[in-house]
């Protein structure tokens, strides 16, 4: 389970892969394999969650790392490179690094006139 | 706090807004306001987390709803429409609806020869 909190001391990556629907299952499999076998064992990895779009055109990885330097060190590791390369042969990649501004939970609407 | 779990009975929206860095703070403010005052009070809203990209060019909302129909009913509600309209006057919007495939936590690498 991944938790999102404003006060967590993490850097968040929301990496959106665009893919032909025919290749979505293969992309999911590649990203799950590289995360399970390599990425999650890297120093500074906190948590990640892999998402499959319902329309088949995207796969999005939501990932938390301790620092940007930890993430960049993993990206330079030769071990996952072949799997990343295979993933990028069937998908385009829009990376993003973020901080959490705020989280919201359900609530009763305030009374208004 | 938002939690991401493979077994949660939710539909996940990962909505990426692209914005000029000069307008990022305003967009964050608009999306926080519409979420706090309207969206989180809608039937079927489970949780959301607002993210600001470190490079200033994106704002991403990670949101969980009970069903697609609940989300669509909120989008048809006239109450939040003016705030959404103002947000879309300074940003472009790439929506996505997802299911969680898998979550990953840190682990020791298996022993290999």
ipTM for the whole complex: 0.92
- Do residues A91 and A57 touch, judged by C-beta distance below 8 A? no
Whole-number percent of chain A with pLDDT over 70: 95
Provide CB contacts within 8 A for A54, sequence distance 6+. B11, B97, B98, B99
Q: Does A50 touch chain B (CB under 8 A)?
A: yes
Q: Tell me which of A79 and B112 has the higher pLDDT.
A: A79
Nearest to A103 among B2, B103, B106 (CB): B2
Residue B24's pLDDT is what? 98
What's the pLDDT tens digit per position in B54-97? Answer: 999 999 999 999 999 999 999 999 988 899 899 999 999 999 99
- Tell me if A62 sits within 8 A of B14, measured CB to CB: yes
Give the C-alpha separation, A51 to B47, whole Å: 17
Residue B111: pLDDT over 80:
no
% of chain B beyond a pLDDT of 90: 86
pLDDT at residue A111 in the model:
45
- Measure in Å the smallest separation between the Cα of B100 and chain A Cα atoms: 4
The answer to whether the predicted template modeling score (pTM) of the entire model surpasses 0.90 is yes
The radius of gyration of chain B's CA atoms, rounded to the nearest angstrom, is 16
Tokens 């309209």 map to which residue? B85
Are B98 and A54 a contacting pair at CB < 8 A? yes
């Amino acid at each position: 389970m991944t938790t999102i909190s404003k006060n967590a001391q993490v850097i968040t990556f929301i990496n959106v892969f665009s893919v032909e629907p025919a290749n979505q299952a293969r992309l999911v499999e590649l990203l799950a394999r590289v995360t399970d076998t390599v990425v999650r064992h890297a120093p500074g990895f906190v948590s990640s969650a892999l998402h499959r779009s319902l329309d088949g055109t995207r796969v999005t990885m939501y990932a938390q790392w301790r620092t940007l330097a930890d993430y960049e060190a993993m990206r330079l590791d030769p071990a996952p490179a072949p799997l990343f390369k295979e993933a990028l042969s069937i998908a385009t990649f829009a990376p993003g690094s973020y901080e959490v501004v705020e989280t919201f939970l359900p609530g009763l609407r305030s009374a208004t006139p």
